[in-house]
Structure 1
Amino acid sequence: MNIRLRVPDTIAWRIALTVGAAILSVLVFSALFDRFAGPSAAERARLDRADDAIRMIEVAAPGNRQQLADTIMIADKVVWYQAGTSIAQQLATAELHAPSRETMSWFQDNGHERRSLIFTSADQLSKAIDFDRVTHPDAYFMAVQLHDSSWVLFIANRRPWGNLLPARLTTTLASVASLILAASMLATYFLARPIRQFAEELRQIGGDPRAGPVREAGPKELRAAIKAFNALQAQLRKFVDDRTLMLAAISHDLRTPLTKIRLRGEFIEDEEQRLRLFRDVDDLQAMADSALSFFRDDYKDEESTVFDFAGLLRTIADDYSDQGAAVRYAGPDRFALSGRPFSLRRACMNLVDNAVKWGGSADLELTSTPTEVALTISDRGPGIPSEALEKVFNPFFRVEQSRNRSTGGMGLGLTSALAVIRAHAGDIALSNRQGGGLTVCVTLPVVSKIVESCHTSKT
């Protein structure tokens, strides 16, 4: 029977595996560093032989020490310097970096570590030493002090493990830190990637309840969250569909009694009362049609494309100017934007229509940054009370409380405009102008800007 160990794909396990991988990488690197940066087995044997040679030289008579050193074949050359000589004094007073603890532990005198030095031909101390510089252009020196203050000097080619202690320590720390940083960045990237993908898909959905479900991927906890979100989205989609179907049925059923009321109104002899009745019937029909159009979210059925947003705004300003309204546009001649042009046109026209209705004029200004585009619509009307700046976006809310459509409207213009703008991942902010009037700021993300723009003003 085959037994397969399956690790659960959870965030906790991913973090544990990340930490474990980082620790394991450091341990492997340390082992490799000790293997290749530290003394090898052969070099350790040479160090043992060097320690034996030092002990033999130390017990020998001073007159025989150099002769004994010449017979040692551990290094290319072994030299003994008597205490008090110039080189012995320079070695005793030299302020050079000591060798590694691993190297120093080889040379001991009655359990105490001997004073030892490691230096190269590049150090100033090497200039006082007589050796073949042609044979050893990169000579490696290891000096060990005996108990009578004399010195034994080993001369050989530089070894890889002979780095000075600070250089070796710096290299080790820098390598370990780089390895941990690389392993952590790589692990956290793969750990956070499904979360980033989830956030990106949510941003693309933009709160559209009709959008398809989000793909379930990533750790167990994230998949559970995505599954719950998809279930909630499905419920919202069903609710919206049921609501739209109900409103469509109500709107359709209202047509018959409204038509009957209009026909019966024809028999009213009082013409003034008949006209009032017809006007009320028209209002009821317009209210039903407007509500149905709003709740259907028709703008979401339009395909997204790249269009000239600046040209759209200029067209709106020209249309209102042709009707005698003072609507002015200032901004770039061209600005390419990715979105639903007809929906954005309807939303902008709702905002401009409010400005013209309440302020008598509208000033449109388009500005952009590398990440977003801002449309400002300003008027000189009475403005909106500060407590109602947020309420005006609620469906059927009207600052003007009369039920007359010619003065108060339906209360759906700003609501519809906000829905369109937010469907494009943008937002609308209202603020009262100093000296009277209202400023509407519409911000949209720049998804695609393919036409260079130059700022000009049109009056």
Structure 2
Amino acid sequence: MKLRLGLPDTIAWRIALTVGAAILSVLALSVLFDHVAGPSSAERAELDRADDAIRMIEAAPPQDRQHLADTVTIADRVIWYPSSVALAHMFATARLREPGLGKTERFRGTERVRESVIFTSADSLASSIDFDRIAHPNAYFMAVQLRDHSWVLFIANHRRLGKLLPARLATMLVSVAALILAASLLATCFLAAPIRQFADELRRIGGDPRAKPVRETGPKELRAAIAAFNALQAQLQKFVDDRTLMLAAMSHDLRTPLTKIRLRGEFIEDDEQRARLFRDVDDLQAMADSALSFFRDDYKDEEATVFDFAGLLRTIADDYSDQGAEVRYVGPDRFAMSGRPFSLRRACMNLIDNALKWGGSADVQLICAQTGVTVTISDRGPGIPSEALEKVFNPFFRIEQSRNRSTGGMGLGLTSALAVVRAHAGNIVLRNRHGGGLTVCVTLPVTDKIARNET
């Protein structure tokens, strides 16, 4: 799921927007319900005052009721209609003819529900009232029936009650929304901070089983996840250590019988057979030493430091050029980053050696950005079959099937280079070039804040 509002797709924003939208929906629903269900609190207060005026008019003799109505100030004009006049009859039957006009109100202090009709100057009922509709096109009317079936009509030239209600609602909603979003962001940022820290720690580790355990911080569930990860990391480290000890023992034990074979080979009189035997012994020794060097992960014993990666690549290209190899470097003169320079140098040299072996030349290009670097090593050789682009990273896998070290090597160069790059949280991708050749794309993230590009 992706946010399409231009906002960052983070847990903090998702929770904040969810909580804020839920609360705003509740507020909007409550306002809508209050608007539909009945008058506001201010209007109810005015209705209570109107009830006092109605009770006063109702208690007075008929001949004094209009005089009392003229003294009422809660409306612009108040008129009393005896039950005998035609307009009183129209009020009584208006709700039957036009149910949308009528509205029953229970006034304070009454023992029964008074019949009332609320309408505006735009309704047909207003045409029968002695009122200037042109001067006051937005007038409001409320007619209330008394116990003797007479009617009291309250006329307001404009709706004073609730006139400022939309502005008050807008201010209230904006204030509440701002407070809710601020509180939600603070709460969710507090929750997301340890998750971001955990992700940074994982990027720092970069697949290194010998890295230090991740600090257990944050909520209980996150601490449990970190503890489980640290336990897995410890098991992997134990597995790597056991594997290294086993291979070191095997390599050490193999040297003794290989030395005996070489000594006994000295007694072979056939020079050709003796040379073949010694060559096989050398191959076995090289295989044991290469395997031991790879599985020991010597590159991970190197401490990370800040170094000039662009200068490293430029120096490698110059060294090959001094030896007569056709290696060209394209990129910035300097780019400082944090990593293991000797391990990266060995990995890049393995990749360049492959390009020189199969293509005769190598083009090295460095592209730098604030978030990472990309190194491409291109050659003009035969390329690699598409089905083998991933298999070549497997230990001891060789496209050239003759087990000759002078032509195919030991099958650990790309594997070792990939291990070094992944130890830096990077990756290597191979792709065949159009027109022949192979391009090796190495990507390395730059998470350290000191990384900078100086041309």
TM-score (norm 2): 0.70
Is the alpha carbon distance of 1:303 and 1:184 closer, same or farther for their aligned partners in structure 2, counting shifts above 3 Å?
same
1:9 is matched with none
1:306-455 aligned within 5 A: 306-448=306-448, 450-454=451-455
Is the alpha carbon distance of 1:192 and 1:450 closer, same or farther for their aligned partners in structure 2, counting shifts above 3 Å?
closer
The one-letter code matched in structure 1 to 2:114 is N
- The separation in 1 between residues aligned to 2:290 and 2:174, in whole angstroms, is 69
Is the 2:370–2:451 Cα contact (8 Å) retained in structure 1? no
Is the alpha carbon distance of 1:62 and 1:151 closer, same or farther for their aligned partners in structure 2, counting shifts above 3 Å?
farther
Instruction: Give structure 2 stretches of 5+ with no counterpart.
Output: 1-14, 35-39, 82-104, 122-131, 145-150
> Could you report, residue by residue, the CA deviation over 1:361-399 in whole angstroms, capped at 9, with x for unpaired residues?
000111133422111111011111111111110011111
SS in 2 for 1:233: helix
| C-alpha RMSD over aligned residues | 4.5
1:110 is matched with 114
The one-letter code matched in structure 2 to 1:112 is S
Is the 2:106–2:114 Cα contact (8 Å) retained in structure 1? no
SS in 2 for 1:52: helix
2:147 is matched with none
2:127 is matched with none
> Could you report, residue by residue, the CA deviation over 1:165-214 in whole angstroms, capped at 9, with x for unpaired residues?
44455455555655655555555444555444433332322221112333
Is the 2:371–2:445 Cα contact (8 Å) retained in structure 1? yes
Kindly state the Cα deviation for residue 278 of structure 1 after the two structures are TM-superposed. 3.2
- The separation in 2 between residues aligned to 1:220 and 1:450, in whole angstroms, is 35
Is the 1:26–1:176 Cα contact (8 Å) retained in structure 2? no
2:102 is matched with none
2:37 is matched with none
The one-letter code matched in structure 2 to 1:424 is H
SS in 1 for 2:337: strand
Moved more, 55-64 or 415-424: 55-64
SS in 2 for 1:405: coil
SS in 1 for 2:210: coil
- Asked if 1:254 corresponds to 2:254, the answer is yes
The one-letter code matched in structure 2 to 1:447 is T
SS in 2 for 1:452: strand
Is the alpha carbon distance of 1:105 and 1:383 closer, same or farther for their aligned partners in structure 2, counting shifts above 3 Å?
farther
- The separation in 2 between residues aligned to 1:250 and 1:306, in whole angstroms, is 37
Is the alpha carbon distance of 1:236 and 1:451 closer, same or farther for their aligned partners in structure 2, counting shifts above 3 Å?
closer
Is the 1:336–1:451 Cα contact (8 Å) retained in structure 2? yes
Is the 1:311–1:333 Cα contact (8 Å) retained in structure 2? yes
Kindly state the Cα deviation for residue 222 of structure 1 after the two structures are TM-superposed. 4.3
> Could you report, residue by residue, the CA deviation over 1:23-79 in whole angstroms, capped at 9, with x for unpaired residues?
79979xx89xx9xxx748xx966652343125545887999678646866x77x976
1:26-175 aligned within 5 A: 39=41, 47-54=47-54, 56=56, 68=68, 80=78, 110-112=114-116, 114-115=118-119, 145-146=142-143, 151-152=154-155, 162-171=162-171, 174=174
Is the alpha carbon distance of 1:65 and 1:365 closer, same or farther for their aligned partners in structure 2, counting shifts above 3 Å?
farther
- The separation in 1 between residues aligned to 2:163 and 2:303, in whole angstroms, is 68
1:219-234 aligned within 5 A: 220-234=220-234
Kindly state the Cα deviation for residue 307 of structure 1 after the two structures are TM-superposed. 1.6
- The separation in 1 between residues aligned to 2:205 and 2:329, in whole angstroms, is 32
Kindly state the Cα deviation for residue 406 of structure 1 after the two structures are TM-superposed. 0.7
Moved more, 412-421 or 285-294: 285-294
- Identical positions, percent: 74
- The separation in 1 between residues aligned to 2:372 and 2:407, in whole angstroms, is 35
- The separation in 2 between residues aligned to 1:324 and 1:222, in whole angstroms, is 56
- The separation in 2 between residues aligned to 1:80 and 1:375, in whole angstroms, is 88
Is the alpha carbon distance of 1:381 and 1:151 closer, same or farther for their aligned partners in structure 2, counting shifts above 3 Å?
same
- Asked if 1:304 corresponds to 2:301, the answer is no
Instruction: Give structure 1 stretches of 5+ with no counterpart.
Output: 1-14, 84-103, 118-124, 130-140, 455-459
Moved more, 166-175 or 323-332: 166-175
- The separation in 2 between residues aligned to 1:305 and 1:272, in whole angstroms, is 51
Kindly state the Cα deviation for residue 349 of structure 1 after the two structures are TM-superposed. 0.4
Moved more, 420-429 or 186-195: 186-195
Is the 2:338–2:451 Cα contact (8 Å) retained in structure 1? no
Is the alpha carbon distance of 1:346 and 1:61 closer, same or farther for their aligned partners in structure 2, counting shifts above 3 Å?
farther
Is the 1:82–1:151 Cα contact (8 Å) retained in structure 2? no
TM-score (norm 1): 0.70
Is the 1:25–1:179 Cα contact (8 Å) retained in structure 2? no
